[in-house]
Amino acid sequence: MQNADLLEFFDAVEELSYSKVERIVPDDYLSDKTPGLEGRSFGLIIPQTPETVGQVIRLANLHGVPLVVRGAGTGKSGGAVPLDGDVVLSLELLNRIHEVDVANCMVSVESGVILSDLKRSVAEAGLWYPPDPASETTCSIGGNVAVNAGGPSCLKYGVTGDYVVGLKGFFPTGESFSLGGKLRKNVAGFDLIKLLVGSEGVLGVITEITLRLVSPSSASQDVLYMADTMDEAMTIVQSVCTRYQPVLAEYWTKECVDSVFNCKGKNVSIPQTPVYVVFRFEGDHHNAVLDQINRLVSTEGVVDKWKTDLDWDVLWDCRKNISPALTELGGMKRSEDVTVPPASIGEMMLFLGHLNDQSPLKIIGYGHLGDGNIHVNVLKMDLPDSEWESVSMDVMSQVVNEAIRLGGTITGEHGVGVSKKRFMSTQFDEKTLGLMRAIKHAFDPNRILGRGKIL
């Protein structure tokens, strides 16, 4: 990219009516929530309308200026981080909720809407949008669609992509697309919606989204199972998941809880156990849910290992703070969200235990036990800074290799972006990677969107 091209591009963008332009990019836009990753950018554009997004992309093609799409910047794989000066295209001002359509049980929104705002509007209309990434108060629905985000309730309710029925936006060449709509069934042609969901901003810019909604359940109850060992935790999860239908089945360890409370400098009283396994059950009314839980408690494990009467806000607050607390504990942290078939999770945990015993680093896993999605955190602790990069990379490669050996995937939630790009050839053979490159080229022959990401 020549300087003159860039200057002409910015001059033209500044002529557009509905966009903000910053030629000195504020630091906040140079990173996302991926540990240790900071990029470099020659400019920031914040369009205020979908049409302006299209105009900006067409100008980028005209002047050969690479763009990186940004939602709310909460990503954990660096997808929104500008590399080598790429211009940041932030969709934060596309934040209108167009319609909650109760008759069709759907909602249409712009892509920059914050997920918790969307969920609130839908709830006010008596409906429910289930996906619940822990970042819901800060991430955008566009970012969720672009990485196909998940969360605890996805065990029962599925991930973001299971709700997307319509997408509008712009291909990387600047032509608009409008796919699907308020449709419960739609099998015409190749499913480009499925291709764009999870495409991490490299196949198109999504500006408007239509999602199907469900009815909320009338009652729900969380239950804690206090396991003595990981083995016991896995046995109970498998037994409960095959016989009942919990909304979620999460786990974390005492080490995680201790790190949260040490980090926050307070010791809130929650039950002490080596492994915390939390289920959520739901039903038509509270008594039906409790009946279900009582049945479960009397048949599964020791009765006094089950707790319902807890300060759940404290427990869930603790869960939400595990990630930053582990960063503080380790000094530096690397994390991957590998996923294995649910029945193989025991083997994966065993492997992580061995790796932890042999490694100078501390390896702590927590996450979505029910759907085999483990957040593996590798902490630096006392390892010299100079050895961190190579030792942690080696450990992560071993984690990823084991997940693949078990029939798993390198990422279940966070996407590939920059940080998991090096593992793509571990998961996919050259033929498959070649097809992915060909798809990218067909969508983006001028290499405008998301340079250096995924492939």
Ligand X SMILES: Cc1cc2nc3c(=O)[nH]c(=O)nc-3n(C[C@H](O)[C@H](O)[C@H](O)COP(=O)(O)OP(=O)(O)OC[C@H]3O[C@@H](n4cnc5c(N)ncnc54)[C@H](O)[C@@H]3O)c2cc1C
Binding stretches for ligand X (CB under 6 A)? 32-33, 68-76, 79-80, 91, 111, 133-135, 139-140, 142-144, 146-147, 149-151, 200-201, 205-206, 323, 413-414, 417, 450
Residue (391 or 455) nearer to ligand X, CB: 455
Cβ 76 vs Cβ 133: under 8 Å: no
3-state secondary structure of 287: helix
Closest separation in Å from C-beta 417 to ligand X: 6
**Token pair listed for 411:** 């990422």
Closest separation in Å from C-beta 81 to ligand X: 8
Cβ 196 vs Cβ 179: under 8 Å: yes
Cα dihedral 293, 119, 375, 145 in deg (nearest 10): 130
What residues contact 360, with CB distance under 8 A and at least 6 apart? 381, 382, 383, 391
Closest separation in Å from C-beta 207 to ligand X: 7
3-state secondary structure of 311: coil
Backbone angles phi, psi at 110, to 5 degrees: -80, 160
Residue (47 or 301) nearer to ligand X, CB: 47
Residue (141 or 230) nearer to ligand X, CB: 141
- Whole-number Å distance between alpha carbons of 146 and 159: 12
Closest separation in Å from C-beta 28 to ligand X: 11
Residue (174 or 301) nearer to ligand X, CB: 174
Q: Where are the alpha helices (DSSP H) in 22-78?
A: 50-63
Closest separation in Å from C-beta 446 to ligand X: 17
Closest separation in Å from C-beta 293 to ligand X: 25
Residue (292 or 323) nearer to ligand X, CB: 323
Residue (149 or 230) nearer to ligand X, CB: 149
3-state secondary structure of 46: strand
Residue (307 or 368) nearer to ligand X, CB: 368
β-pairing, 97-101 vs 164-170, is: unpaired
Closest separation in Å from C-beta 384 to ligand X: 28
Cβ 349 vs Cβ 365: under 8 Å: yes
Residue (136 or 402) nearer to ligand X, CB: 136
- Whole-number Å distance between alpha carbons of 217 and 395: 42
The interaxial angle of helices 385-405 and 345-358, nearest 10 deg, is 160
* Buried/exposed code over 288-320 (b: 16+ C-beta within 10 A; e: otherwise): ebeebbeebbeebbeeebbbeeeeeeebeebbe
Closest separation in Å from C-beta 50 to ligand X: 10
Residue (289 or 416) nearer to ligand X, CB: 416
Closest separation in Å from C-beta 259 to ligand X: 15
What residues contact 359, with CB distance under 8 A and at least 6 apart? 391, 395
Residue (205 or 349) nearer to ligand X, CB: 205
Closest separation in Å from C-beta 411 to ligand X: 9
- Single out the residue of 37, 153, 21, 155 nearest to residue 87, CA to CA: 21
